[in-house]
Every structure is written in structure tokens, then in C-alpha cells.
């Protein structure tokens, strides 16, 4: 079995790690690194994986996954530059960081894949997009695809789309949780116990998402099915339109994509 090194195992690194283990990968084939020794010890204890320094982990692995924040990427690449093997594939999860950025800081010809995953991977419902760098072979892209498919769906896209993907599915769970918080709060304002409001909202979200996925109906059709003429739903939707909530979502997601493009410098 090949070794996978997860460099900078924070939220996303542990999410990927746990997905790999659930999909049957041997813990002995996974190496993690981190800045905080206590955090690394927890990961070793919780998952039975090995821990090493960045350089040793990069040298030992055929798949090197870069899971640090975009601002920490340059420093990490400096540490591993002389240790990544010529046949290894380097997979970067960082928002904004381009394959060109990673390639330019590693030995000429290194195979790099840029990935944008999301946190629902923690429950095997992730959505990830992957894009090949300029030296990435089909085999290496397939390897990255297999890595990510251990915890959800994967699409292959040209790298020019990755900032948009970051803004939609990378950050997307946060928008959904934000709406959920607002709906729970509204239930409480209307006098529901908080636990009841939470249960109603979470199951409604789960049911609506399942309908979208299973019926494959357009969301407009599904929304119209709920909206009785002169009824309660249209009264609420009218308020959302008056408050320009739809336009706010578009503007917000444009801001996320713009921020992703800014992060490309690795210092922003
Ligand atoms: N959290 C999310 O929903 C998503 C995050 N991402 C990307 O994943 C990357 C990681 O994000 P999170 O896991 O949320 O951040 P995090 O802060 O939880 O994890 C990053 C980890 O890297 C460690 N670290 C920093 N420099 C290091 C170094 N030189 N060597 C070893 N470890 C080092 C930190 O101590 C930390 O534990 C980011 O680049 C982010 O853009 C991508 C998609 C979704
Ligand atoms: O907020 C961020 O920058 C990261 C990238 C996508 C989700 N979280």
C-alpha cells in the first residue's frame, strides 16, 4: 500500500483522514504532521496513524496532501521542497493557492493536483472538485479522485473554475448553517422551545435536500409546490425578496470567489 502524508492536519486534514480510514485505508499507511504537538498527539491517539515532521512525512509518502491555510503554504513548501519524491503526487486543499504557485516552489516536474473539498466529507457527503496542474498525469489525477471519493462526490474541472467552486461548495456549508441559525432563532421568537425549533429546522433542511437530490426537480418547481396562492409561504418569500436576500447571496458568493483569487498570492 502507498503512504499518504497529511501535512497540517487541522479541520480539513482530519476530515480527510477520517474518510480514508472509514473507506478501509490502513492507519499504518497514513502519516500526519502539525504545528501543535498536542493536536498531533490527539490525532495519533484517536486514529492510530503515525506522526512525523513535514520533511520526513513528505519523503515517506507517495501522496502528499497539503492541508495548511493559504498563508502558511509558502513556509510549508519551503520545508518539503527537497524531500518530495519524483513520483509523488502533491495534492493541495488550500483555497486560492494555484497549482502554478505550488509547482514553482517544488522541484521541476512535480505532479500537483488542486482540490477544493468541503466539511460534509466528515459524514461521507463531501463535494470536492479537483483540477490538474501542468505536470499531472491521468494516473495522478485518478489517485487524487480516489482519495477524495473516500468521503463524498468528486468532479474534475479546469483550474479556472476553482475559485467559483471554493465560493459555492467549499464555503457553502457555512451559508447553509447561517440560514439554519436564522430559522431556529425565528422559531424561538415565535415561542417554540429551542430544541424543538432546532429539530424542525434540521429535518426540514434534510428533507428539502433529499427532495432536490432524489426528484431532480428544479428548485423553482419545488418552491412553487410549497407556495399556496395567498398563503403563508408567499408572505414569507415576499419579505425575503423585499430584503434582497437572493441578491445578497449572489453578492456574498462573488465576495468569496474574489477572496479566493486574492489568496492566490499566499500572503494576502
Ligand atoms: N475548513 C474548511 O471548510 C475548508 C478548508 N479548506 C482549506 O483547507 C486548508 C486547511 O483549512 P482548515 O483545516 O480549516 O484549517 P486548520 O487551521 O484547522 O488546519 C490547518 C493546520 O495546519 C497546521 N499548520 C500550519 N502550518 C503548518 C506547518 N508548517 N506544518 C504543519 N502544520 C502546519 C495548523 O497548526 C493547523 O492545525 C486551508 O487551506 C483551507 O483553505 C478547503 C475547503 C474547506
Ligand atoms: O473559509 C475558507 O477560506 C475555507 C475555504 C473554503 C471553506 N473554508
Whether the CB-CB separation of 111 and 138 falls below 8 Å is answered with no
* Stated pTM of the model: 0.96
- Tell me: do 17 and 119 sit in the same domain: yes
**12 annotated among ligand-binding-site residues:** yes
- Tell me: do 80 and 46 sit in the same domain: yes
Contact partners, residue 32, CB within 8 Å, separation at least 6: 5, 6, 9, 13, 17, 40, 43, 44, 49, 50, 51, 57
- 170 ligand 2 Cβ < 6 A: yes
The answer as to whether 206 is a domain residue is yes
pLDDT along the chain (268 residues), means of 10: 93 95 95 97 96 97 97 97 96 97 97 98 97 96 94 97 98 98 98 98 98 97 98 98 98 98 86
Nearest CA to ligand 2 atom 1: 171
The answer as to whether 108 is a domain residue is yes
- Tell me: do 17 and 137 sit in the same domain: yes
- Tell me: do 34 and 69 sit in the same domain: yes
CA distance 99 to 246: 33
Q: Atom of ligand 2 at shortest distance to CA of 116?
A: 6
CA distance 5 to 65: 6
Residue 7 Cα to ligand 1 midpoint, Å, equals 9
**11 annotated among ligand-binding-site residues:** yes
| CATH number, domain with residue 185 | 1.10.3730.10
- Tell me: do 26 and 128 sit in the same domain: yes
Domain containing 212: what range?
172-262
Whether the CB-CB separation of 72 and 98 falls below 8 Å is answered with no
The confidence score (pLDDT) of residue 193 equals: 98
- 172 ligand 1 Cβ < 6 A: no
The answer as to whether 84 is a domain residue is yes
Of 161, 184, 203, the one marking the end of a domain is 161
Q: Atom of ligand 2 at shortest distance to CA of 263?
A: 3
- 152 ligand 1 Cβ < 6 A: no
The confidence score (pLDDT) of residue 49 equals: 97
- 228 ligand 1 Cβ < 6 A: no
User: Which residue among 8, 98, 117, 265 is best mutated to probe the pocket of ligand 1, counting the most ligand atoms within 8 A of its Cβ?
Assistant: 8
Q: Name the grid cell of 12.
A: 480539513
| CATH number, domain with residue 65 | 3.40.50.720
- 169 ligand 2 Cβ < 6 A: no
- The 3 state secondary structure assigned to 114-131 is EEECCHHHHHCCEEEEEE
The confidence score (pLDDT) of residue 268 equals: 77
- 13 ligand 1 Cβ < 6 A: yes
Whether the CB-CB separation of 138 and 147 falls below 8 Å is answered with no
The 8-class DSSP code of residue 53 comes to: -
**66 annotated among ligand-binding-site residues:** no
The confidence score (pLDDT) of residue 265 equals: 82
- 95 ligand 2 Cβ < 6 A: yes
Amino acid at each position: 500500500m502507498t503512504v499518504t502524508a497529511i501535512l497540517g492536519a487541522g479541520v480539513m486534514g482530519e476530515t480527510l483522514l477520517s474518510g480514508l480510514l472509514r473507506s478501509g485505508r490502513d492507519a499504518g499507511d497514513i502519516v500526519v504532521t502539525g504545528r501543535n504537538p498536542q493536536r498531533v498527539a490527539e490525532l495519533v491517539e484517536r486514529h492510530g496513524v503515525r506522526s512525523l515532521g513535514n520533511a520526513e512525512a513528505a519523503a515517506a509518502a507517495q501522496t502528499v496532501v497539503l492541508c495548511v491555510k493559504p498563508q502558511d503554504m509558502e513556509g510549508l513548501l519551503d520545508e518539503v521542497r527537497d524531500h518530495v519524491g519524483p513520483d509523488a503526487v502533491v495534492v493541495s486543499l488550500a483555497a486560492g493557492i494555484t497549482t502554478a504557485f505550488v509547482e514553482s516552489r517544488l522541484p521541476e516536474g512535480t505532479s500537483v493536483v488542486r482540490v477544493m473539498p468541503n466539511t460534509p466529507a466528515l459524514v461521507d457527503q463531501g463535494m470536492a472538485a479537483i483540477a490538474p496542474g501542468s505536470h499531472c498525469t491521468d494516473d495522478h489525477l485518478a489517485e487524487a479522485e480516489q482519495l477524495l471519493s473516500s468521503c463524498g462526490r468528486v468532479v474534475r474541472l479546469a483550474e479556472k473554475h476553482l475559485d467559483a467552486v471554493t465560493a459555492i461548495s467549499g464555503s457553502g456549508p457555512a451559508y447553509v448553517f447561517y440560514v439554519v441559525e436564522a430559522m431556529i432563532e425565528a422559531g424561538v421568537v415565535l415561542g417554540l422551545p429551542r430544541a424543538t425549533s432546532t429539530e424542525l429546522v434540521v429535518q426540514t433542511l434534510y428533507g428539502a435536500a433529499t427532495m432536490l437530490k432524489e426528484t431532480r426537480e428544479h428548485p423553482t418547481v419545488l418552491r412553487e409546490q410549497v407556495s399556496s396562492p395567498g398563503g403563508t409561504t408567499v408572505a414569507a418569500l415576499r419579505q425575503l425578496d423585499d430584503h434582497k436576500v437572493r441578491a445578497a447571496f449572489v453578492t456574498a458568493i462573488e465576495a468569496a470567489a474574489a477572496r479566493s483569487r486574492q489568496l492566490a498570492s499566499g500572503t494576502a
